[in-house]
Structure 1
Amino acid sequence: MKHMLLLLCLLTSIVLSATVDGALRTGFARLQYDGGGDWYNDPEILPNLARYANSVMNAGFPNDQSTVRASDPKLFDYPFIFLTGHGNIRFSEREVDNLRTWMLRGGFLYADDDYGMDASFRREIRRIFPERELTELDSSFPLFTSFYDFSTGLPKIHLHDEKPPKAYGIFDDNGRMVCLYTYESNISDGWADPSTHNDPPDVRDIALKFGVNILHYVMHK
């Protein structure tokens, strides 16, 4: 038992001392989480975004989707992690610690509320960064014009209600945005196959273009 505890401590220290090794062009991953929310919905959205970004940015993103848990040391292989869902999110204490370390050492988390995860995401991100606030981003923030011009603001892809779409960021001590959270926008729904949500081509194109802006911003910051 003593040896097992020592091994566990060693493995934990390795994870927490790791740095983010991957380059964004090596791909990005979807975050798998507990709590009951559908972290897995629309599995085609990241491959579709990769294909679109490759066509306009000549980026060379892999056209597949990886998944990773925040407790997995492989988290540090990915510089960009995507999180979405409609329901509850819950991280363990180890996952909270790993996500904090990962973001402060170069990782970027993009969370898109697929209508229904707002309360739990805000609760969990507060556990990760109790000393930092989600700061609302207006259209003058560089993300909105990093590749395509979205100076009119964040698009609203699905009209669940009349609330305006909003974007929020969390920043480290050097001013680098480590987390982007989009709310009441459903941007990632627009990355899905046309048959998934029956979105018209122009709506999907807007959503994919904003996705390119996110990737371009992260690559150049």
Structure 2
Amino acid sequence: MKLNFFILLSFFSLFSFGQDLAILKYKGGGDWYSNPTALTNLIKFCNENIETQLTEKPETVEAGSVDIFRFPLLHMTGHGNVFFEADDVTNLRRYLESGGFLHIDDNYGMQPYIIRELKKIFPNQELEELPSTHPIFTAAFEFKDGLPKIHEHDGKRPQAFGLYNKERLVVLFTFESDLGDGWEDQEVHNDSEEVRLKALQMGANIIKYAFEN
């Protein structure tokens, strides 16, 4: 009971006193820490272009910690294995059902693991592909064709998948796009300014949508 009260109090405080985002640290051996410059650049872009007031350097929180309830948006990325223990699953489910939002950006190789682990959180749901008409693609900048392609990887089309809680999108899984690589410092991947701008604009859409829905 005390833990539940603390969670509710933390979450209430979050929406009463500000909005921010955090990096989700997970178990399983995957590199949750990849793309170290990505979120800092995205935050700067959002503060300059969509009137957010995000903290310049995002915090890192663990999946099983009550600290996740301080943030309306969690960002998760990596290349390899992901594993949620029972306490992580319970914590993340409560977070998402309480109004939180999780963005998972596949940096390459996460897909089979994240599908397995999300099943633990919402066992009665399958990831659904978002249509290009979904409002997340026009939240701040318009993407008429849906999720932009940032990196080639396997050459497949970029796809955005979602999970819902009572018709509210609570999990966004971006696949074959690699937005985070486009958010990184330019010299990391040598992306063109056009490609980086698309990635940053789509990232801004995700943040704006998560904060307003």
171, 178, 181: which is aligned to 2:173? 181
Inter-CA distance 45–11: structure 2 relative to 1 (3 Å threshold): farther
1:37 maps onto 2:30 in alignment: yes
1:32-62 deviations in whole A, cap 9, x for unaligned?
A: 0110100001222111111001111121111
How many residues are matched? 211
In 2, the alpha carbon distance for the partners of 1:148 and 1:20 equals 29
Q: Which of residues 63, 67, 72 in structure 1 aligns to 2:56?
A: 63
Which of 156, 168, 174 matches 2:149? 156
- Deviation readout 1:45-81 (Å, 9 max, x if unpaired): 1111110011111211111020000111111111100
Displacement of 1:20 after TM fit?
2.4
Residue from 127, 130, 138 that aligns with 1:137: 130
**TM-score with structure 2 setting the length:** 0.93
| 8 A Cα contact 1:19 1:105, kept in partner | no
Runs of 4+ in 1 over 3 A off after TM superposition: 10-19, 23-26
SS at match of 1:20: helix
| Aligned counterpart, 1:203 | 195
Displacement, 1:195?
1.4
Secondary structure of the residue that 1:68 maps to in structure 2?
strand
Q: Secondary structure at the match of 2:89?
A: helix
2:164 corresponds to which of 165, 171, 175: 171
1:84 and 1:127 mapped to 2: Cα distance? 18
- Corresponding residue SS for 2:39: helix
- The CA RMSD measured in Å over matched residues stands at 1.7
SS in 2 for 1:29: strand
Aligned equivalents of 2:36, 2:204: Cα separation in 1: 18
Shift of 1:133: 2.0
The structural deviation recorded for 1:19 is 5.9
Larger radius of gyration: 1
> 1:93 & 1:11 partners in 2: Cα distance?
19
The answer on whether the counterparts of 1:31 and 1:69 sit within 8 Å (CA) in structure 2 is: yes
Deviation at 1:11, TM superposition (A): 6.0
1:215 is displaced (CA, Å) by: 1.1
Shift of 1:14: 4.7
Three-state SS of the structure 1 residue aligned to 2:11 is coil
Deviation of 1:13 after TM superposition, in Å, equals: 4.4
Q: What's the CA shift for 1:110?
A: 0.3
Quote the residue 1:98 is aligned against. Answer: 91
Deviation at 1:16?
5.9
Q: Percent identity?
A: 40
> How far does residue 158 in structure 1 lie from its aligned partner after superposition?
0.4
Give the aligned partner of residue 83 of structure 1. 76
